[in-house]
Structure 1
């Protein structure tokens, strides 16, 4: 499809390493839009498919423009919006026309819905065999839980994360971000990129699948390996690392400090920097396994020393000694941090309604594609409908008829 997006000078295409690809985004809520955001930020043309206003089944889920404007802008920047009712034959016909020209179609319906609508992977890849069809579900495309609705907190619980998060004895704890959603989105994006690379050799697309449950379990990493390999069930350890001590959050004279003294060498450096060298060979502290068994004793001794100076003083002193450490920031302090400012993590954006704001940039850099263009604000619902349909050959009168019938 021709790309109608413009740069800040009003002419030409928005460039990026993925600008040759067109993505059709039929996903909702967070996991799917997170996957698609990567492509949009990297220059791909992303067309967000939304239920037309007034049509049954409108989208009122989390992430809607009126629900949380900051979230919506951050999640849907750099995209176009086409309203399309895919529950109608006319809507499916338009979708087929788009699919014939697209590279990727992504959805996160319940597994049976896409097949019922006639927009499953077999149906769409029959139109365009090069299409990469991507699906994100809660629990997989088949199996005993395939029909369950998938939400982040449920996946965090069923995927084991909540059992190892929080302090011992205080019950399961959800982490403060939608980790299962976000990771499912990132894994889906990696799957799509892999399929696009494979297509260069085979000439064919394929169906890429992931789920919140699988993504969450994959993120357990070493905690899962403790069970799979050693048959050890990991427990909650709060802010502390389950396998190395002292590693965690410690109080100082004016706040808190994160310390990661992993291994015997770091333990010796830490004790010397804290001016408690006698702890190095203290009974019950002389090795990693001993410190893990006596973590309360070790942590109490370390914190007693740390309470004598401020967080800033200890940070400077420990880093000079080669001990990994750092302060614990609130979100406002994160973006005020000089290193964060240097990295340009906050991506400045000019918005007609919100003014000068910033979004969270992608944590990747490319030497030949500097991030020199500001992000484009998230589109209003259906903002690009007329232009996209005109590209497909529809007249203004035909678009008016489709809109009157709640098809677009």
Structure 2
């Protein structure tokens, strides 16, 4: 296994998804991640089931398992002064702290960036909030669903108004949280590199709202350049035609024509090479302008043969195409199996890391932790004696 971040210690004060997604990636890359959780309760997502893994009091929600591989769990109540002192001491030994509390929410515990960086100037402190550390919305809570709405993503997702089922729709996975976790990880890696030159850490300010706007990519650029809001287009592409699902004789397939050379091959396969000589279809810009007619003609041709036959021919022609799989089909696909994207840790089936370096997977072998599984280990690392740990546990400062 590749461990490029071996020796880096991360103190994870985050919960739910954006922060844990970031710290899981850091753990996969070899960092030691200590996840601080509330005694007796833990990360909220431990209870976001069904589905569950395990039974009774030991059961844990699949949601939690998806984003907490590779971490150690220490149950410490930093709402108590002694618990806060323990977390502060851990921060002194850490390279990175990640938190996703409301702006200023950790200051009363002495766990804010100013306090922790004063004791450890090399500390990289990453804050994840809904709207950032400043601005008129800074005090608002941020949830992926809300950000998808206010950030414009839902306005371009779903079927157009007027069609059955038309209207704004959220994406089927919490993409804003996930993208924010990824952007935060990138910022942390950059800060670690910068620290090698300056000797000092930084305070990273990440906002779900900012990330949502950034990830609009070409759609935001389309709006800025044209002065018009992009419409909802369902499964079609705003800038490329044909680039959407088509119904073959037995089931739908996706055909994604990315350039005029691919279109010429598709036209030949459909039995209409003359399309390339038709001014309405000869270029992508023309096909976008005549989208309705182009899609109608391609759809008529695709409907004549079964999906498997089309997919074989499209692959041979170098035209991107594929089926519309259910998640179980995608996870069981021969390519997913070859790449070993599904793995089992301590009897728990998980999706593995997509990162590979020199052929080696960057993927932690440490399964998602039980609540407080590593509390004693973490306390021992701070020099807390066994009898002192027992007293702290009895008083509820640790679990």
Which among 105, 117, 132 is matched to residue 113 of structure 1? 105
Instruction: Report deviation, 1:282.
Output: 3.7
Give, in whole Å, the separation in 1 of the partners of 2:33 and 2:271.
57
Q: Is the partner of 2:127 in helix, strand or coil?
A: strand
1:322 equivalent to 2:318? Answer yes
Which among 282, 289, 298 is matched to residue 286 of structure 1? 282
| Long gaps (5+) in structure 2 | 53-60
Give, in whole Å, the separation in 1 of the partners of 2:19 and 2:362.
26
Is the CA contact 1:23–1:102 (under 8 Å) kept in the aligned structure 2? Answer: yes
More displaced 10-residue stretch of structure 1: 147-156 or 111-120: 111-120
Give, in whole Å, the separation in 1 of the partners of 2:373 and 2:333.
37
Is the CA contact 2:37–2:76 (under 8 Å) kept in the aligned structure 1? Answer: yes
1:152 equivalent to 2:131? Answer no
Is the CA contact 1:181–1:212 (under 8 Å) kept in the aligned structure 2? Answer: yes
Cross-structure match for 1:8 = none
Instruction: Give TM-score scaled by structure 1 length.
Output: 0.90
Cross-structure match for 1:24 = 11
1:390 equivalent to 2:376? Answer no
Cross-structure match for 1:211 = 207
Cross-structure match for 2:69 = 77
Cross-structure match for 2:390 = 400
Which among 230, 233, 236 is matched to residue 234 of structure 1? 230
Change in 2 beyond 3 A, CA 1:187/1:253: same
1:264 equivalent to 2:247? Answer no
Instruction: Report deviation, 1:284.
Output: 2.9
More displaced 10-residue stretch of structure 1: 186-195 or 320-329: 320-329
Cross-structure match for 1:358 = 349
Which among 181, 186, 192 is matched to residue 190 of structure 1? 186
Give, in whole Å, the separation in 2 of the partners of 1:326 and 1:264.
19
Cross-structure match for 1:5 = none
Give, in whole Å, the separation in 2 of the partners of 1:262 and 1:192.
35
Q: Kindly tell me the number of residue pairs found equivalent between the two proteins.
A: 385
Is the CA contact 2:95–2:122 (under 8 Å) kept in the aligned structure 1? Answer: yes
Instruction: Give TM-score scaled by structure 2 length.
Output: 0.92
Give, in whole Å, the separation in 1 of the partners of 2:159 and 2:362.
44
Higher relative contact order (CA 8 A, sep 6+): 2
Instruction: Report deviation, 1:306.
Output: 0.6
Give, in whole Å, the separation in 2 of the partners of 1:63 and 1:27.
13
Which among 336, 341, 347 is matched to residue 340 of structure 1? 336
Change in 2 beyond 3 A, CA 1:132/1:105: same
Change in 2 beyond 3 A, CA 1:194/1:373: closer
1:310 equivalent to 2:306? Answer yes
Which among 172, 179, 185 is matched to residue 176 of structure 1? 172
More displaced 10-residue stretch of structure 1: 203-212 or 222-231: 222-231
Change in 2 beyond 3 A, CA 1:378/1:316: same
Instruction: Report deviation, 1:307.
Output: 1.0
Cross-structure match for 1:367 = 358
Instruction: Report deviation, 1:265.
Output: 2.1
Report Cα offsets for 1:302-326 as digits up to 9, x if no partner: 1111111111111111122222211
Instruction: Report deviation, 1:62.
Output: 3.3
| Long gaps (5+) in structure 1 | 1-13
More displaced 10-residue stretch of structure 1: 125-134 or 371-380: 371-380
Report Cα offsets for 1:242-284 as digits up to 9, x if no partner: 1111111111011111111123222211110111223333463
Change in 2 beyond 3 A, CA 1:241/1:65: closer
Instruction: Report deviation, 1:221.
Output: 0.4
1:378 equivalent to 2:368? Answer yes
Which among 34, 46, 59 is matched to residue 21 of structure 2? 34
Q: Is the partner of 2:87 in helix, strand or coil?
A: helix
Instruction: Report deviation, 1:394.
Output: 1.1
Instruction: Report deviation, 1:372.
Output: 8.9
Instruction: Report deviation, 1:393.
Output: 1.2
Which among 93, 96, 102 is matched to residue 101 of structure 1? 93
